[in-house]
């Protein structure tokens, strides 16, 4: 499973807030909701978040193995 817990830590340590992401950087409230609920999102959005927060992808997400993962 992909977890966006690192995003929240990175956001907290930055000068940005969910308000500024939505209003200044045009990140949708639906994207913020996806981050809260660990829902899938596209790589363009992840790229935008890395650019805005000036961070690496591992500061946005992490992979956590889960028994609920799809069988390959």
Domains of the chain: 2-63 (1.10.260)
With a cut of 80, say whether residue 24 has pLDDT above it.
yes
Asked whether 59 and 13 are in contact (CB, 8 A), the reply is no
69 or 7: which carries more pLDDT confidence? 7
Q: What is the pTM of this model?
A: 0.88
For the segment 42-48, the average pLDDT, to the nearest whole number, is 97
How much is the pLDDT for 68? 79
d(CA 55, CA 70): 29
With a cut of 80, say whether residue 28 has pLDDT above it.
yes
Q: Which helix (H) or strand (E) holds 62?
A: strand 62-63
């Amino acid at each position: 499973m992909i977890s966006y817990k690192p995003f929240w830590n990175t956001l907290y340590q930055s000068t940005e807030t969910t308000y500024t992401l939505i209003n200044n950087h045009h990140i949708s409230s639906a994207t913020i909701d996806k981050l809260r609920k660990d829902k899938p999102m596209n790589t363009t959005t992840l790229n935008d978040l890395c650019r805005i927060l000036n961070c690496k992808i591992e500061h946005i997400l992490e992979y956590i193995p889960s028994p609920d993962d799809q069988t390959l």
